[in-house]
C-alpha cells in the first residue's frame, strides 16, 4: 500500500484514483497523521498539494517520523515544498505571479538512479502547473531532474535517498473543469499532465516496489473477511436500505458476510418513486436473499409534513421521523433476537459512506464547507449511536461511486439498479416547491415515471447522471378541449455531472421534450403545463430545493 498524505488539495483524491487505476492500492490520510499510529507500514509515501504556504505559521506539516521510515517519498506541489522546507527552511518563496496551466518540463539526465522518477519519458513532458509558491533554491542533497521556463526546480531528487519532488500535478491527467469553478473563467478548462500516470507508476511500482495487482475483484472477499472479523459470530447489524446502488451494494456485502444477522429496513416515507418500495423488496429478496422489512409510514410522514413549505424544515421533519421509526424497528429486532438462539445484540449500523465523504471528513481542517449535511439523512442520531452503543460499519468507505457500481455488478446486482440515478433521502418532498400533500406527491410521481420511462426508451438514461420531474405548486391556466383547467406546473430536470458538486443541463432534442410534455399533460390529471429547467449547477442545485 502507498500512503498518500493529504495537505488539503482539491485533487488529492485523484492521486489515489490514478494509483488504483495502475493496480497499486493506496490509502489517503491527513497530512498530520502520526506514523506511530499506523498499524501498517507503507511501501512509499506521497505528499499531496495543498492551498497553504509552507513558511506560514500554522501551515500543516508532516510528522518528522515520516522521513525515518526510510521508504520512498514523492512530494507534489505543496508536498514538494514541504520536503524542501523540512531541510533548510529558506528555499520556498512566493513566485512573482501565479503559474497556472500548461508548461513543458525539460528532463535533466543525472543518472538512472536519481532521475528514475522520469524514466522512459524522453527529454520533455507537458505538465499542468498551479502554484504561487515555488522553490527558489535547491534543498541540500538534492539535484534538479526537471525544469520549466518559470520553475527552475520543477522536478528534484535526492542524490542518495529515494526522495523526489515535483512542482506540477501528475495526478491531473485529463481533467475538465467547468467554467465558473475557477474564478473568472468563462469557458470550460481542459487541463492535463498526459504522462502523469507513468510518473506515478515509476514512483509506486519501480521505486517503491508496490505490486500493481490490486483489482476491484479482490475487494469483495477481502471486505467480507474484514466484516466477519469485525462483527464476530453473534452480533446483529442493522441497515437502512433505500433502493439506491450504495445501500444495495452495502447490504449485499453484509448479507454475504454474516447472512441473516444482517437486518435490512426500508422506511417508506410516502415520497419514494412510483412502485419503488415493492420493487426494492422484490429485488433484494429475489437476487440477494435479503428479507427486507418495509416500514410503511407514508401517512405519518404526510401528516408531519402538512403545511410545511420550507425546504430545510421538510428535510428535518423527514430526517427525524425516519430516525424515530428506525429506532422503533431496531428495538423490535433486538427483542426478537433475545428469543433467537446463538444471536447476540444489535451492535452495528451499516452506513453506505463512500470515499469522497471519508476524504472530506478526514481533512486536517475538519469537514469542509462543501460537505452537505443532507447526505446524513438516514444516518442515526447521536442518541442511538452513543446511547445504545451502536458502532458504524462502512464497507464502501474505500470506494468511489464507479467502483461501487463495479462491485455491484460483480455481486450480481441487476444492471438497472447498478446504474440507477441517485435519489435523495427526503425523496419527492424536496421536488415539490411548496407544501407537500398526498395528491401532489402522486402527480409528481406519475410525471416522473413518464419522464424516466421515455428517457429510457430513447436510450438516453445512461448518458444522464440524474433526471426527475418535480412540481411547482403554483398553478397555471390551460385549456384541455373546451375546458379551462387550473393545474400544476411540472418541472423536468436532467443533468450531467461527474461529482454532483457541479452539473450541466442535459441537451435534449426539443421534439423529445415536447413529446414528454404532451404525454404528461395527457396522462397526469391536474397538470396544465410542463417546463424544462435550463439551470446548471452552480448557480442552481440539482434538486429543486
Ligand atoms: P444538490 O441538490 O445539492 O444535489 O445539487 C446533489 C446531489 O445530492 C442529492 N441530494 C440529497 N441526497 N438527501 C440525500 O440523501 C438530501 O437531502 C439531498 N439533497 C440533495 C441530489 O439528489 C444530488 O444527487
Work out the average pLDDT over 481-500.
92
Q: Evaluate if residue 510 carries a pLDDT over 60.
A: yes
CB of 371 closer than 8 Å to CB of 360: yes
Tell me if residue 80 is catalytic.
no
Q: Evaluate if residue 366 carries a pLDDT over 50.
A: no
CA of 238 to the centre of ligand 1 (A): 23
Cα distance between residue 320 and residue 310, in whole Å: 16
Tell me if residue 77 is catalytic.
yes
Annotated binding site for ATP: 242-248
SS (H, E, C) 446-458: HHHHHHHHHHHHC
Tell me if residue 171 is catalytic.
yes
Residue 288 phi, psi (nearest 5): -115, 5
Q: Evaluate if residue 218 carries a pLDDT over 90.
A: no
Does 426 sit in the ligand 1 pocket, CB within 6 Å?
A: yes
**Eight-state DSSP code of residue 381:** P
Q: Of 3-12, 175-184, 519-528, which range is least confident?
A: 175-184
Cell of 249: 451494494
**Pairing, β 391-393 against β 346-350:** parallel
Q: Of 147-156, 229-238, 337-346, which range is least confident?
A: 337-346
CB of 92 closer than 8 Å to CB of 81: yes
CB of 322 closer than 8 Å to CB of 267: yes
CB of 182 closer than 8 Å to CB of 171: no
Does 470 sit in the ligand 1 pocket, CB within 6 Å?
A: no
CB of 409 closer than 8 Å to CB of 418: yes
Residue 327: how many CB atoms within 10 A of its CB?
Answer: 16
Q: What is the pTM of this model?
A: 0.71
Does 352 sit in the ligand 1 pocket, CB within 6 Å?
A: no
**Pairing, β 483-496 against β 527-532:** parallel
Does 424 sit in the ligand 1 pocket, CB within 6 Å?
A: yes
- Is the peptide bond between 186 and the residue preceding it cis, with omega within 30 degrees of 0? no
Kindly indicate the confidence band of residue 371, based on its pLDDT and cuts at 50, 70 and 90.
Answer: very low
> What residue owns the CA closest to ligand 1's atom 12?
424
> What residue owns the CA closest to ligand 1's atom 20?
424
Point out the catalytic residue in the list 169, 198, 256, 421: 169
Q: What is the ipTM of this complex?
A: 0.98
CA of 81 to the centre of ligand 1 (A): 37
User: At a CB cut-off of 8 Å and minimum separation 6, what does 265 contact?
Assistant: 238, 239, 240, 241, 292, 293, 295, 326, 329
Q: Which of 135-139, 217-221, 358-362 has the largest mean confidence?
A: 135-139
Does 542 sit in the ligand 1 pocket, CB within 6 Å?
A: yes
Q: Rounded to 10 degrees, what is the CA torsion of 95, 96, 99, 104?
A: -80
Cα distance between residue 162 and residue 139, in whole Å: 14
What are the structural domains, with CATH classification, of the chain?
2-207 (3.40.50.880), 216-418 (3.40.50.620), 437-532 (3.30.300.10)
CA of 237 to the centre of ligand 1 (A): 26
Annotated binding site: 242-248
CA of 375 to the centre of ligand 1 (A): 7
For the segment 11-60, what is each residue's pLDDT rounded down to a tens digit?
788 898 889 889 998 988 889 899 999 988 999 999 999 988 999 998 99
What is the sign, positive or negative, of the torsion defined by CA atoms of 455, 352, 335, 234?
A: positive
Ligand 1 pocket: which of 178, 370, 500 to mutate (most atoms within 8 A of CB): 500
CA of 374 to the centre of ligand 1 (A): 7
Cell of 267: 422506511
- For the chain, the average pLDDT equals 88
Residue 432 phi, psi (nearest 5): -115, 115
pLDDT top residue among 277 and 391: 277
Does 543 sit in the ligand 1 pocket, CB within 6 Å?
A: yes
Amino acid at each position: 500500500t502507498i500512503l498518500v498524505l493529504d495537505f488539503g488539495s482539491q485533487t488529492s483524491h485523484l492521486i489515489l484514483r490514478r494509483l488504483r487505476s495502475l493496480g497499486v492500492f493506496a490509502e489517503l490520510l491527513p497530512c498530520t497523521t502520526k506514523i506511530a499510529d499506523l498499524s501498517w507500514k507503507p511501501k512509499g509515501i506521497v505528499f499531496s498539494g495543498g492551498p497553504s504556504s509552507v513558511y506560514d505559521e500554522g501551515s500543516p506539516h508532516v510528522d518528522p517520523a515520516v522521513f525515518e521510515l526510510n521508504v520512498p517519498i514523492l512530494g507534489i506541489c505543496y508536498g514538494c515544498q514541504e520536503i524542501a522546507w523540512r531541510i533548510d527552511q529558506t528555499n520556498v518563496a512566493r513566485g512573482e505571479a501565479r503559474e497556472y496551466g500548461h508548461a513543458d518540463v525539460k528532463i535533466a539526465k543525472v543518472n538512472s538512479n536519481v532521475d528514475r522518477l522520469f524514466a522512459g519519458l524522453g527529454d520533455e513532458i507537458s505538465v499542468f502547473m498551479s502554484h504561487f509558491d515555488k522553490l527558489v533554491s535547491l534543498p541540500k542533497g538534492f539535484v534538479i531532474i526537471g525544469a520549466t521556463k518559470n520553475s527552475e526546480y520543477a522536478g528534484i531528487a535526492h542524490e542518495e535517498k529515494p526522495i523526489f519532488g515535483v512542482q506540477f500535478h501528475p495526478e491531473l491527467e485529463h481533467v475538465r473543469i467547468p467554467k465558473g469553478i475557477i474564478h473568472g473563467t468563462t469557458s470550460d478548462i481542459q487541463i492535463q499532465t498526459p504522462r502523469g500516470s507513468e510518473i506515478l507508476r515509476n514512483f509506486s511500482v519501480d521505486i517503491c516496489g508496490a505490486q500493481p495487482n490490486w483489482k476491484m475483484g479482490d475487494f469483495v472477499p477481502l471486505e467480507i473477511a474484514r466484516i466477519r472479523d469485525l462483527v464476530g459470530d453473534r452480533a446483529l447489524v442493522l441497515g437502512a436500505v433505500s433502493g439506491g446502488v450504495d445501500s444495495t451494494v452495502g447490504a449485499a456485502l453484509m448479507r454475504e458476510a454474516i447472512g441473516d444477522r444482517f437486518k435490512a429496513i426500508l422506511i417508506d416515507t410516502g415520497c419514494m418513486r412510483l412502485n419503488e418500495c415493492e420493487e426494492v423488496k422484490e429485488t433484494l429478496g429475489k437476487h440477494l436473499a435479503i428479507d427486507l422489512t418495509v416500514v410503511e409510514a407514508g401517512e405519518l410522514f404526510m401528516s408531519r409534513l402538512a403545511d410545511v413549505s420550507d425546504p430545510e424544515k421538510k428535510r428535518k421533519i423527514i430526517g427525524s421521523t425516519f430516525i424515530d421509526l428506525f429506532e422503533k424497528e431496531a428495538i423490535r429486532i433486538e427483542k426478537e433476537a433475545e428469543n433467537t438462539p446463538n444471536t447476540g445484540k444489535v451492535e452495528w449500523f451499516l452506513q453506505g459512506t463512500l470515499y469522497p465523504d471519508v476524504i472530506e471528513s478526514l481533512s486536517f481542517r475538519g469537514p469542509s464547507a462543501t460537505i452537505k449535511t443532507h447526505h446524513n439523512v438516514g444516518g442515526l442520531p447521536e442518541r442511538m449511536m452513543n446511547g445504545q452503543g451502536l458502532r458504524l460499519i462502512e464497507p464502501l468507505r474505500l470506494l468511489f461511486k464507479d467502483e461501487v457500481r463495479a462491485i455491484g455488478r460483480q455481486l450480481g446486482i441487476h444492471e438497472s439498479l447498478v446504474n440507477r440515478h441517485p435519489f435523495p433521502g427526503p425523496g419527492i418532498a424536496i421536488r415539490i416547491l411548496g407544501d407537500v400533500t398526498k395528491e401532489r406527491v402522486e402527480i409528481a410521481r406519475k410525471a416522473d415515471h413518464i419522464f424516466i420511462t421515455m428517457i429510457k426508451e430513447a436510450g438516453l438514461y445512461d448518458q444522464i447522471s440524474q433526471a426527475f420531474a418535480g412540481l411547482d405548486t403554483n398553478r397555471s391556466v390551460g385549456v384541455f378541449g373546451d375546458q379551462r383547467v387550473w393545474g400544476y406546473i411540472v418541472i423536468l430536470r436532467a443533468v450531467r455531472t461527474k461529482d454532483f458538486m457541479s452539473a450541466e443541463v442535459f441537451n435534449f432534442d426539443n421534439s423529445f421534450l415536447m413529446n414528454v410534455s404532451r404525454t404528461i399533460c395527457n396522462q397526469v390529471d391536474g397538470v396544465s403545463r410542463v417546463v424544462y429547467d435550463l439551470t446548471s449547477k452552480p448557480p442552481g442545485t440539482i434538486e429543486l430545493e
